[in-house]
A and B are shown apart, each in its own frame.
Chain A
């Protein structure tokens, strides 16, 4: 049983560019959350998707957007990249539409903005 998978593993972008990160949830999970983890910090909640809709959003600007597909996989899009967007982006999935149960995290995508 595959766990949460994310792609790509690493990514280097230039300021002002746009990036798309992808996540496939653990089998049987229908809820996907995205987190940003800056170096030396704990993960910060970006948003959560359930039934193909954004259910809750953290304190991130509109440059951060997402999507969930019918197969429950998800994308995170970041527009107009800033140097401060450099971080590890983590995807987490959980079952049953109840986001408060334990979340299973993927290995993350390391984004570097130069």
Chain B
């Protein structure tokens, strides 16, 4: 079946450090892949997406590349800020016709210290 696996948190970094949050997936075919961010007490906000192999999604300094060969979609940012502290969710949308749901990972909490 379809699934998403994220690295466990929490991840604690100092401001301006480099961030990587690992995400791997299992799916038949070519799913669409997403990163969502959830700030405390809020819903989910779409951070970036990629819909086919080798696509790179980017937004607000974050980026992730759809790697079909390693079934991965790792999130990276070159220099994190305190305001990036949140929970990050990797998700996939299966390519199967008639399947509409998103499948989420368990989330990775990021804490950035000043």
A interface list, Cβ under 8 A from B = 4, 6, 31, 33, 35, 40-45, 48, 55-56, 58, 90, 92, 98-108
Contact = CB atoms under 8 A, between A and B. Distances in A.
Interface residues of B, number: 25
Contact of B34 (A44, A55, A102): A102
Given A41-B107, A100-B32, A100-B93, A56 B44 contact: no
Given A98-B100, A101-B32, A104-B46, 16 more contacts: A33-B101, A41-B106, A42-B104, A43-B44, A43-B89, A43-B102, A44-B104, A45-B103, A56-B101, A92-B102, A99-B101, A100-B94, A101-B93, A102-B46, A105-B43, A105-B46
Nearest to B89: A42
Contact of B43 (A31, A101, A102, A108): A108
Nearest to B104: A42
Nearest to B46: A102
A6 B42 CA distance: 12
Contact of B99 (A44, A100, A101): A100
A101 B4 CA distance: 18
A105 B42 CA distance: 10
Nearest to A6: B43
B101 A58 contact: yes
A85 B32 CA distance: 29
Interface in B64-114: 89, 91, 93-95, 98-107
